Amino acid sequence: MTPTTAKNRADGEALHTGTVDALLARFATSPSAGLTSIEAKARLERLGENVLPKATKPSALRQFLGQFANPIVGTLVVAGVVAVINGAGNTSDSFLTRWGDAISIILIVVLNAVLGYVQERRAEAALDALEKMQSPAARVRRDDDLRVVEAREVVEGDVIELEAGDAIPADARLIQSVDLAVEESALTGESVPATKDARAELAEDAPLGDRATMLFVGTSVVRGKARALVVATATRTELGKLSTLMSAPTDAKTPLEERLDAFGKRILWGCLALSALIFVWGLFLAKETWQQVLLGSVSLAVAAIPEGLPAITTITLALGMQRMSRRGAIVRKLAAVETLGSATVICTDKTGTLTQNEMTVREVFCGGRAYHVTGTGYAADGEIRNEDASVADIEYAPLRHLLASVALANTAKLEADADGMRRVIGDPTEGALLTLSEKGGLPKESILPSHKLLREIPFDSDRKRMTVVTLDAEGSEIVHTKGSCDVLLPLCVHVELEDGIVPLSEVSRAEIQAEADRMSAKALRVLAVARREITRKSLDDADADADADAGEGGVDIEQRLRFVGLVGMIDPPRVGVKEAVRECAEAQVRAVMITGDHKLTAVAIARELGIWDEGAIALTGSELAALDDAGLAARIDATRVFARVTAEQKLRIVKAFKARGHVVAMTGDGVNDAPALREAHIGIAMGKNGTDVARAAADMVLADDNFATIVHAVREGRAIWRNIQKFIFFLLSSNAGLVVAVLGTSLVPSLPPFRPIMILWINLVTNGLPALALGIDPPDASQMMEPPRKTSDGLLGGREYLGIGIVGLVMGAIGIGCYVWPWEVSAGVDRVAYGRAIAFSLLALSPLFHAFSCRSATRSIVSLRPAWSRPLVLAVLASGAIHLVAVVVPALRTVFQTYGMPLVHWGVLVALSVSIVPVVELSKLLQRMRVVGADLGPMSRKR
């Protein structure tokens, strides 16, 4: 017994199996009169309104304060506080000298918080008002009268009336039903409408999608009429239970957030250790004043912290978010932009995600001929083609009769929406048949004027067929029947072939059944079509016989039929999905289908799209339920299709993949996908056809509902990760030079320390623009041929840290050399202060040249393509010009304590700044030689 069955019982029986009389007695209501208004009001007060709780969103203040929850930002805040204390204790200097450091640090912290807050609020605004799953109104029986009330006022015990097009306002048990079919794909994942029958006999453990006696909120009626008893409202509905599941998983951090947090903590502890060293040295060994010690400690902390890292990371992710938005992917959380780049598994729903959620006829068999139908969905831009791909002859009588019958025995309508896209009003299967007749040049509108509808016998689950009788322009009465092949074929005695109408032999029956089996093996839904010309007398006699037998009207009419043909249809894959799946495979990202549809259909679609590979297996929901966690873990890496699964099982599947160390992306559009969307590292919902609940649970929404957009997102995520590595390496290696220079000069009491505002200027103004340019460096085409990075990988590896050490030692040593060099200065200029000013400019300009080497960790500058990154060139020129302003403008010299320099000194300064490039390029060359040597060594030994 499933948990859902155990919770929904009436008088000892499950709701879907209990008798209607028992349920009516339990809810104290009448099937005709319904509840009284007084009782309905009392129940509304006791049980509450029929609405789902909205997801709690963080307040604007909380979301803004959340931007400060970062170790690097926290360290900057502490440095800012120390700078404030230092400024307050230094009353002899000017305002800018006292408070410039503190103001600069605080501005950087606030700027980063504002950038992150604005981008995330924009995304929330674009996806606001996402809880609209319940219908706005419902028709209920109250006080022995039919009334229209708001859906929120529906209570348990209400008797509701439903017909085609109605949204179901609450979970309900059928009392009466006539030819009822309900679209449940948003809840169960099945693309074909579920047939409902108040009289159906079900097992207690019947899965949700097989409960033919039940209706569920969030679904809609596509055909027929019904009267039903409301048995659950609000959070007690199946949809409500899903909202409870959604609240269970906590908001886990993305891999990037985890790595940045770990990275920030290491920087934090390193800053504390270095600052403590300087504090102890200055206060106890060098005997400096506490103000000098604080200034030195803050200077070192500011030098060690890459202040631009939070802001540049935020801007890089925000720009990536905007690029993805232009491609149709709306990202709700900045850090999620990069997560897809590390995804190893994409768990994707089938209906509406991989497929169009529009039934389409693929194959036709009639008159002994097989036809292929082009085009997908409800657009009539396809053709019916022969086996040799030539256009079919519509004048061929069997084909023409088939097209006419499927159009006439049809209650659906096709309408164009505001975007010009056609949608079906009614059963999607009948919509596919209408489209087929249009592709064959016989739209229903062209047939109706010559056919008068005399009688209609609707489809029901017992007969498994539908029949209409029409009177044509020549006065002939024609029976048009469509239904299941195994039911309709035994009712046929003739078959229409190229040579005319002939008796249906056993050989012909076997051939037709074999063709139906062939279509079914391809996961096509097969319908048989038959006709019969009758006289008025035979029609009257049939009615009389039916009345006399008290049987189902039309039984005799549906005898002695002429078999016309078979129609095979399927919910086809979306255009571009197959190519997207192939690109994911090349990027070593595994696509796994998770669906509520049948196993045979799911595997067929998986094969067609390339998801299914050698050694793959498929598991159904019942098979999954029989497995414990260890059994699932042993099979999950080989499983490519999960079919007929529940929402709880989707959640379990995602957790199982995560337990195996995978970075999981989950796509979906239905209500049943929402809990798994939240549990996944990144949830991806459909924007057009997706439900509001799914969009609210997702980290990313595909505005165009195109699975192929995910491939662009994977590519963008990998490019962002690579670029983040580039600018982190650039910032840390440049900061390492600052740390070496600041630490080295701090150990010499006679040398005044670098001021924090100098270091902030270098870190933010001169280094900030090149770092940002590296963040938008063009992606490398080869990155989509590489495997996803491991979850255990850090932001940087040992090779990068070695490079940071080399750059830091070289750049810092040159900076210290500039500081202590006996420069020739003008009269009245302090030689030591002049040396510090030159060192300041060296540490500001050297990273600008170093940035070009940071575009690749291994490849030389001359081998990169494109050879020059335009954003980086512009950023370097702009940063260099800005620094010149700080040196040349007299008013700013007092702020940064710089001096005018002769051209000779400028020449020496630029030459020393450029010298970092050959050092880094030589380091890369040695690394490449070591890798090549390691590769050639075993080969040479084999030889």
User: Three-state secondary structure along 882-893?
Assistant: HHHHHHHCHHHH
Of the two residues 255 and 150, the one the predictor is more confident about is 150
The answer on pLDDT for 662 being more than 50 is yes
Distance between CA atoms of residues 461 and 344, nearest Å = 43
Structure tokens at 715: 């590519």
Taking residues 741-770, what's their average pLDDT?
A: 81
Query: pTM to 2 decimals?
Result: 0.68
Mean model confidence pLDDT for the chain: 81
Q: Indicate the SS3 state at residue 668.
A: strand
Choose among 357, 356, 361: nearest CA to 371: 361
CA-to-CA dists, residue 783 to 49, 256, 447, 600, 787, angstroms: 52, 18, 57, 36, 8
Of the two residues 855 and 112, the one the predictor is more confident about is 855
Q: In this predicted model, what pLDDT tens digit does every residue of 785-811 receive, in sequence order?
A: 888 877 677 778 888 888 899 999 999
- Give residue 898's identity as a one-letter amino acid code: T
Distance between CA atoms of residues 84 and 372, nearest Å = 78
Taking residues 567-587, what's their average pLDDT?
A: 89
Q: In this predicted model, what pLDDT tens digit does every residue of 206-246 receive, in sequence order?
A: 877 788 999 998 888 888 889 999 999 988 888 777 665 55
Q: Give the model's pLDDT for residue 18.
A: 80
Distance between CA atoms of residues 364 and 370, nearest Å = 6
The answer on pLDDT for 420 being more than 80 is no
Distance between CA atoms of residues 666 and 650, nearest Å = 10
Would you give the DSSP letter of residue 673? G
Query: Percent of the chain having pLDDT more than 70?
Result: 82
Residue numbers annotated as active site: 349
Q: Give the model's pLDDT for residue 682.
A: 87
Q: Give the model's pLDDT for residue 610.
A: 93
Q: Give the model's pLDDT for residue 322.
A: 79
Q: Give the model's pLDDT for residue 750.
A: 78
Q: Give the model's pLDDT for residue 249.
A: 44
- Give residue 119's identity as a one-letter amino acid code: Q
Q: In this predicted model, what pLDDT tens digit does every residue of 889-941 receive, in sequence order?
A: 888 888 788 888 899 999 999 999 999 999 999 988 888 787 554 443 333 33
CA 564 from chain centre, in angstroms, equals 45
Distance between CA atoms of residues 670 and 685, nearest Å = 8
Taking residues 519-542, what's their average pLDDT?
A: 78
Q: Give the model's pLDDT for residue 691.
A: 66
Distance between CA atoms of residues 610 and 628, nearest Å = 29
Distance between CA atoms of residues 417 and 434, nearest Å = 17
Structure tokens at 668: 């979906």
Taking residues 880-896, what's their average pLDDT?
A: 86
The answer on pLDDT for 272 being more than 70 is yes
Buried residues in 697-714 as b, exposed as e (16+ CB within 10 A): bbbbbbbebbbbbbbbbb
Which residue is associated with the tokens 């996961």?
523
Asked if residues 819 and 742 have their Cβ atoms less than 8 Å apart, the reply is no
| 3-class SS string, 125-159 | HHCCCCCCCCCCEEEEEECCEEEEEEHHHCCCCCE
* Region at 149 (left for phi over 0; alpha for psi -120 to 50; beta for the rest): beta
The answer on pLDDT for 293 being more than 70 is no
CA atoms within 13 A on the CB side of 4: 24
Taking residues 844-856, what's their average pLDDT?
A: 93
pLDDT band at 467 (very low <50, low <70, confident <90, very high): very high
Of the two residues 562 and 61, the one the predictor is more confident about is 562
Q: Give the model's pLDDT for residue 539.
A: 46
Q: Give the model's pLDDT for residue 91.
A: 59
Structure tokens at 771: 């770092």
Query: Which of the residue ranges 43-57, 107-121, 475-489 would you say has the lowest mean pLDDT?
Result: 107-121
Cis-peptide, bond into residue 249, ω within 30° of zero: no
Taking residues 437-442, what's their average pLDDT?
A: 93
Q: Give the model's pLDDT for residue 617.
A: 95
User: How long is the chain?
Assistant: 943
- Give residue 758's identity as a one-letter amino acid code: M
Which residue is associated with the tokens 């939240």?
678
The answer on pLDDT for 658 being more than 60 is yes
Distance between CA atoms of residues 46 and 27, nearest Å = 14
pLDDT band at 35 (very low <50, low <70, confident <90, very high): very high
Most confident of 132-146, 266-280, 464-478: 464-478
Most confident of 114-123, 258-267, 295-304, 471-480: 471-480
Asked if residues 697 and 675 have their Cβ atoms less than 8 Å apart, the reply is yes
CB atoms within 10 A of CB 333: 20
pLDDT band at 638 (very low <50, low <70, confident <90, very high): very high
The answer on pLDDT for 266 being more than 60 is yes
H-type alpha helices, 791-830? 798-820
